[in-house]
Amino acid sequence: MAGQLNVEVVAVESKVWTGDATAVYARTTEGELGVLPGHQPMLGELQVGSVVRVQADGEPERAWRIDGGFLSVTTDGVTVLAETAEAVEPTAA
């Protein structure tokens, strides 16, 4: 679907969330990153204790506190592979 990202948030023990989104925001060890549809493929190491936020059309923003892991952006979408992912209330960036 044009203008959408297929997003998966996966922790070591389970799949946390999957769905379509318009944007994903995460802090990697290299800095803050925003991923929109059409983003170049990449792999980033997630900052321990950071928050990953997912925005979807017509839905409340979702957020998880991440305890390490990786963010993978491919032509198929975005995958967050985390050691742990605990749901938190999203805050404005």
DSSP 58: T
Q: What would the pLDDT profile of 8-51 be if each residue is shown by its tens digit? A: 999 998 999 999 999 999 999 999 999 999 999 999 999 999 99
Q: Please give the backbone phi and psi of residue 48, each rounded to the nearest 5 degrees, phi first.
A: -60, 135
Name residue 65's amino acid: R
pTM of the model: 0.90
Q: Please give the backbone phi and psi of residue 8, each rounded to the nearest 5 degrees, phi first.
A: -130, 130
CATH superfamily placement of domain 5-88: F0F1 ATP synthase delta/epsilon subunit, N-terminal (2.60.15.10)
